[in-house]
Amino acid sequence: MTEGFGSIVAQLEHQKTAIEQALAALREIEGDVAPAATASSSGAPAKRRGRPKGTGRNLRSEGQRKRWAAQKAAVAAPPVASKKAAPRKPQFTPQGLQKLAEAMKRRWGVKRAAAAAKKAGRKHATKKVA
């Protein structure tokens, strides 16, 4: 079992040295030759805690506002492209309105008569004998 752990530790050490070399190369490119002492050298990775600072938060919120504005503009644009005249409503003359009123009165008269006949026929048929 110790052989397995030993090989794992050796591999991790090898990876650690490779990472340190890569970091040193990047620091040389930036112009910072001296390696900076960090908390990650103690073995535990440094975790970022808390919220982003005001500048980062402001940049993200501005970007989100721009995206929403673009999306709303894209949605609002298509209805403007189609401009058709709305169909006109028919307007009745006084004679046409009178004809329509008479026709409706006749129609409702027929319905009321049918309902009354049905109701009159139901009264006799629905009586219960005790």
Nearest to 45 by CA among 2, 71, 16: 16
17 or 31, which is more confident: 17
Please tell me the pTM assigned to this model: 0.27
Q: Is 23 exposed, middle or buried (0-12, 13-18, 19+ CB in 10 A)?
A: middle
Task: Say what the pLDDT of residue 87 is.
Answer: 81
Query: Each residue of 110-122: pLDDT tens digit?
Result: 999 999 999 888 7
Q: What 3-state class would DSSP assign to 120?
A: helix
